[in-house]
Chain A
Amino acid sequence: MSIDKFNRHPTIEGDVIMAQFLQQLINGISLGSIYALLALGYTMVYGIIKLINFAHGDIYMVGAYIGYAVTKYLGLGFMPALLISMAACGVLGILIEKLAYKPLRNSSRISTLITAIAVSLFIEYTMMFFVKPDSRTFPKVLSNNKVDLLGGEVLLDIKNIYIILVTIVLMILLQYIVNKTKIGKAMRAVALDKDAAQLMGVDIDKTISFTFLIGSALAGAAGVLVGVYYNTINPLMGTTPGLKAFISAVLGGIGIIPGAVFGGFFLGMVETLVSAYGNSIFKDAVAFSILIIVLLVKPDGLLGKAVKEKV
């Protein structure tokens, strides 16, 4: 995912610094939305089974390919593609959880982590085997209309609007599920204390599967949005955004849902501004440096609360 594609409307004049800044802000929010959607999956899975799900970025890649297949071969529009991709990725997420992580629930963290990496490699290279490693162009499903702001200095692409709107809707939906429904309550209970939740009659397996379903569906949505926005997809597209989204989750405080959203937008903004005003080749280094600094200063994340360690 190249950030340079954001700089499609370079503004050269001296008095348009503000306009340029606004433009970058819009781009940053769009990129941040993708990170936030992905980070939500990481943070929920980590919150509930304490696993860094390295396969999450690859679910997002599969989501992009499903969106591609649905729009290209079935000729469906943006919304159906989004929904089908979300559903399919949700099922994939449950499948991964049942096959790979459930048998290892009681073993060491390091072996679950390596299983996650194995799953990630498996998805990447199986996809590569079937769809071939080259990049594909995503069909145009949204019009190229642009909205001019500030007398044409700032261009708001219709795709930006779609990305931001879809993200906001999905986040409100997630917030509703987690805070207002019974299964959401179960998720929070399992995240807080698995054994106690089980004693209270919460079906742990079902709750964990549901968490994977939601997280993976969000990743699928992010995949379709990225495909629509950047027009290009490839089987290894998931690794870098996967890591970045994970950083976002850690920045906001892993296991905390608003933290993941905040971290995603924060990282998207920082990366866009670094590429716009600094040097785009250092954007990854900046992201990781922020991560290390945050971990050193406030290991529980920017929105996290320090938890006292019991002896």
Chain B
Amino acid sequence: MRKKGKKVLNVIFIVVLYLLIQMLISIGIIDSFYELNIVIICINIILAVSLNLITGITGQFSLGHAAFMSIGAYTSAILTAKFNLPFILALFISGFAASLAGIMIGLPTLRLKGDYLAIATLGFGEIVKVIATNTDYIGGAIGFNDIPRYTNWTWVYISVTATVILVKRFVNSYHGRACRAVKEDEIAAESVGINTTFYKALAFAIGAFYAGVAGSLYANYFYFIKPDSFGFMKSIDILITVVFGGIGNIIGSIIGAVSLSIISLSLQDIAELRMVIYSVVLYLIMIYRNNGMFRKRGFKIFKNRKKVKYNVGVISK
């Protein structure tokens, strides 16, 4: 009974938050600058949550998440700018295209573990970038111009909510538990009959789908995309968000995306030192809170830290 009440409360919260921001946008209190930042934060939330499904829940260390975003962004750009397809269709096709790429890269490379998988996904990301840079149809190195703007607060909000709810429900489902088992101990999982390859590929497919959706939202908001935006550094940024929020913690990823975006934004005025300060902050977080800021039991910033080993896809000795 109590659970049902909580659910209703959640739904009310989601709807009220949407209406509140929509209202603020329409009266003009949130101007286009703030709206832009809100869209960026929301896209980062989708990316972080989807990578968390791959890295945090299933334990597959991926350094190529931006490549999935890039595939989604370019697919959506082609479909909306060249074929004039409706946005909702482009959004889904982008997701499926990225998902397909996820399975394609996933199936062969999933035999690899830990650092090797990370390197292979990094290589995949770079290959996607080189191909995008050298394909004239999609603008090459100059970038893809004149993408119609369809993304707005409503689209972004629906996508974020859908991503978070669906990923959370997946994590708590039968299949989600299988994914967590793969993370905890692959050999043990296999020995109780879990098809580890299937679940790893599934995690990649679902994670890539949402990354593709995020790419589609990104492309149709900024009118313009270029291959460099989806390079190695973008993948790292997403990974940092996930680790910052706590590996395997979906709500942590949301808080991580919001707070890192705010840190990054507040440093924008001192452009020269921005990356220096950002790297120092990152270093301090890793030294003092190396399991992420937000653990399962909520926000504990000053509690003594227990050393918990998260063996991310790495067989420990």
Contact = CB atoms under 8 A, between A and B. Distances in A.
Kindly name the residue among A103, A282, A289, A299 whose own CB sees the greatest number of chain B CB atoms within 10 A. Answer: A299
B315 interface: yes
Contact of A121 (B243, B275, B290, B291): B275
B309 A125 contact: no
Kindly name the residue among B236, B247, B309 whose own CB sees the greatest number of chain A CB atoms within 10 A. Answer: B236
Interface in A282-299: 282, 284-285, 288-289, 291-292, 295-296, 299
A113 B61 CA distance: 11
Contacts of B247: 108, 110
Interface of B: 55, 61, 108-109, 111-112, 114-116, 118-120, 122-124, 126-127, 130-131, 133-134, 187, 232, 236, 239-240, 243, 247, 272-276, 278-280, 282-283, 286-287, 290-291, 307, 309-312, 314-315, 317
Contacts of A232: none
B122 to A, nearest CB: 8
Contacts of A119: 279, 283
Contacts of A115: 282-283, 286-287
A292 B283 contact: no
Contact of A125 (B120, B126, B279, B315): B279
Kindly name the residue among A110, A113, A129, A250 whose own CB sees the greatest number of chain B CB atoms within 10 A. Answer: A110
B290 A107 contact: yes
A291 B290 contact: no
B309 A108 contact: yes
A126 B276 contact: yes
A246 B232 CA distance: 14
A176 interface: no
29 contacts: A104-B290, A107-B290, A108-B247, A110-B55, A110-B239, A114-B239, A114-B240, A115-B286, A117-B282, A118-B279, A119-B279, A119-B283, A121-B282, A122-B280, A125-B276, A125-B279, A129-B272, A243-B122, A243-B126, A285-B127, A289-B127, A291-B119, A291-B120, A292-B123, A292-B124, A292-B127, A296-B120, A299-B112, A309-B315
Given A100-B283, A108-B310, A250 B133 contact: no
A291 B123 contact: yes
A109 interface: yes
A14 to B, nearest CB: 29
A107 B307 contact: yes
A186 B286 CA distance: 29
B130 A282 contact: yes
Interface in A268-311: 281-282, 284-285, 288-289, 291-292, 295-296, 299, 309-311
A311 to B, nearest CB: 5
Given A106-B307, A109-B314, A292 B109 contact: yes
Contacts of B317: 310
B207 to A, nearest CB: 16
Main DSSP-derived SS at the B contact region: helix
A178 interface: no
Contacts of A310: 317
A110 B61 contact: yes
A111 B290 contact: yes
Given A129-B272, A282-B130, 20 more contacts: A50-B115, A52-B119, A108-B310, A110-B61, A110-B310, A115-B282, A118-B280, A118-B283, A119-B283, A121-B278, A121-B282, A122-B276, A125-B273, A243-B126, A243-B232, A247-B119, A295-B119, A296-B112, A299-B111, A299-B116
Nearest to B56: A110
B282 A118 contact: yes
A109 B119 CA distance: 14
Main DSSP-derived SS at the A contact region: helix
Contacts of A104: 286-287, 290
A102 to B, nearest CB: 10
Nearest to A300: B116
A97 interface: no
Nearest to B231: A239
Nearest to B124: A292
A295 B282 CA distance: 31
A267 B187 CA distance: 35
A106 B308 CA distance: 10
A281 B134 contact: yes
Nearest to A127: B276
A52 B114 CA distance: 12
Given A115-B286, A118-B279, A285 B239 contact: no
A122 B115 CA distance: 23
Contacts of B127: 285, 288-289, 292
A255 B277 CA distance: 33
Nearest to B191: A311
Nearest to B273: A129
Contacts of B272: 128-129
Contacts of B120: 291-292, 295-296
A129 B133 contact: no
Contacts of B134: 281-282
B255 to A, nearest CB: 17
B279 A110 contact: no
Given A129-B273, A284-B130, A108 B119 contact: no
Kindly name the residue among B116, B124, B278, B283 whose own CB sees the greatest number of chain A CB atoms within 10 A. Answer: B283
A271 to B, nearest CB: 13
Contacts of B131: 285
B97 to A, nearest CB: 20
